[in-house]
């Protein structure tokens, strides 16, 4: 005969206590539960990191020590010959020089413009969210799409292109922006495209840092006689942005090393021998007509080591990771 359980009127069902839940689910409590939760959260990320980062790096190291033309399963071991060949390759060395020029232009310009935009947006008292969104919106744009817009619509070199139309208003003759490396007008095209695409992101970083500066510092500075404007910015704002500035400079430098899309699409799909950055040169080496994976892998590892060395040296010089902003 079935037994029916009746709850007394006015009494709510008993709640399950944490101890009861641990008894019902013994695998989720205590040290075992914390370990299981750790691997549930970290495991997928770690697996992706191993499969998509460490395994390709290891395979690239293996290919760089072998003769690998048109195949990813080489058999002839050549040692460090691929590395010496790449370091002696004029095109690869020229690509590193091109990067140096690109970084020398884009890093300070992006830093200054991003900081200026952050200061302007931070000071306005109306529609701040709107201006934040407007300046950040280009970050969501594809580098390939932006490169094609810059090349076809703005800097096409035609008389009725965007840039030449503006110059025509001032009586300046049309310029073939991408026709030749002399004069090097193509740097203006490349750098303006990169500025438009990335300034909004670094503006948000600076804006977050500006909002964390205590207002009491500015009030104390005003009491001490510090004039608003340049003196306040130099002695209060800029020192408080030190940690953010170091992080921004490091990110800008790494991104400059990794420049690819705008160079490949703006400079005739990377076929131009002038203006190539390292990644475009490595792309043409490994995936070009010869498909030389050995030399391409060696060049990629040289570039990775160079990025790591420059980042570590610059971080040490600028004091990245000290924690306290001075």
pLDDT, tens only, 83-107: 999 998 888 888 888 888 888 889 9
Nearest to 243 by CA among 189, 297, 321, 173: 321
Residue 228's φ and ψ, nearest 5 degrees, are -65, 150
- Two structure tokens written together for 120: 């302007």
On whether the CB atoms of residues 106 and 195 are closer than 8 A, the answer is yes
- Two structure tokens written together for 11: 């009494």
Q: What is the pLDDT of residue 49?
A: 92
**Secondary-structure breakdown of the chain: helix, strand, coil percentages, each rounded to the nearest 5:** 70, 0, 30
Q: What is the pLDDT of residue 301?
A: 92
The torsion angle over the Cα atoms of residues 111, 184, 299 and 258, rounded to 10 degrees, is 30
Residue 261 buriedness (CB in 10 A; 0-12 / 13-18 / 19+): buried
Q: What is the pLDDT of residue 194?
A: 92
Which positions of the chain have pLDDT values less than 50?
1-4, 7-8, 24-27, 324-326
Interacting residues of 144 by C-beta distance below 8 A, sequence separation 6+: 261, 265
Q: What is the pLDDT of residue 272?
A: 60
Q: Please tell me the distance from the alpha carbon of residue 236 to that of residue 238, in angstroms, as a whole number.
A: 6
Q: Please tell me the distance from the alpha carbon of residue 289 to that of residue 71, in angstroms, as a whole number.
A: 13
Q: Please tell me the distance from the alpha carbon of residue 194 to that of residue 147, in angstroms, as a whole number.
A: 9
On whether the CB atoms of residues 57 and 46 are closer than 8 A, the answer is no
**What 3-state DSSP class applies to 77?**
strand
What domains sit in the chain, N to C, each tagged with a CATH number? 27-77 (no CATH), 83-318 (1.10.3720.10)
Q: What is the pLDDT of residue 2?
A: 46
Span 256-306, pLDDT tens digits: 888 888 888 888 755 566 677 788 888 888 887 778 899 999 999 998 888
Residue 87's φ and ψ, nearest 5 degrees, are -70, -25
Distances from the Cα of 226 to the Cαs of 210, 215, 216, 222, 313, in angstroms?
19, 14, 13, 5, 35
Q: Which single residue is written with the structure tokens 């510090």?
A: 226
Paired strand residues for 192? none
Paired strand residues for 292? 69
Q: What is the pLDDT of residue 325?
A: 45
Q: Which single residue is written with the structure tokens 């003759």?
A: 173
**Predicted TM-score of the model (pTM):** 0.76
Q: What is the pLDDT of residue 29?
A: 55
Report residue 184 CA to chain centroid gap: 26
Strand spans (E) along the chain? 66-67, 76-77
Residues in the chain: 326
């Amino acid at each position: 005969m079935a037994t029916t359980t009746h709850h007394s009127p006015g009494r709510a069902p008993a709640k399950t206590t944490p101890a009861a839940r641990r008894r019902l689910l013994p695998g989720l409590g205590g040290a075992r539960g914390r370990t299981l939760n750790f691997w549930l959260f970290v495991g997928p990320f770690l697996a992706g990191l191993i499969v998509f980062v460490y395994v390709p790096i290891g395979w690239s190291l293996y290919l760089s020590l072998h003769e690998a033309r048109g195949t990813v399963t080489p058999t002839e071991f050549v040692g460090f010959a691929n590395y010496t060949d790449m370091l002696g390759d004029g095109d690869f060395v020229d690509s590193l020089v091109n990067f140096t020029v690109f970084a020398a232009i884009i890093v300070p310009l992006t830093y200054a413009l991003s900081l200026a935009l952050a200061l302007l947006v931070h000071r306005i008292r109306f529609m701040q969210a709107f201006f934040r969104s407007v300046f950040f919106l280009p970050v969501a744009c594809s580098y390939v799409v932006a490169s094609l817009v810059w090349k076809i619509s703005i800097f096409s070199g035609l008389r009725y292109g965007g840039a030449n139309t503006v110059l025509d208003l001032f009586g300046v003759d049309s310029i073939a922006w991408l026709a030749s490396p002399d004069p090097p007008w193509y740097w203006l095209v490349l750098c303006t495209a990169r500025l438009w695409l990335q300034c909004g992101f670094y503006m948000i970083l600076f804006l977050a840092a500006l909002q964390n500066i205590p207002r009491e510092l500015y009030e104390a500075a005003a009491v001490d006689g510090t004039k608003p404007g340049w003196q306040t910015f130099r002695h209060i704002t800029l020192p408080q942005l030190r940690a953010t500035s170091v992080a921004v400079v490091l990110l800008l430098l790494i991104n400059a090393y990794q420049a690819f899309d705008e160079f490949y699409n703006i400079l005739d799909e990377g076929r131009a021998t002038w203006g190539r950055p390292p990644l475009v040169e490595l792309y043409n080496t490994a995936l070009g007509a010869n498909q030389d994976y050995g030399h391409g892998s060696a060049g990629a590892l040289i570039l990775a080591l160079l990025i790591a060395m420059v980042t570590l040296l610059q971080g040490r010089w600028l004091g990245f990771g000290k924690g306290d902003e001075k």
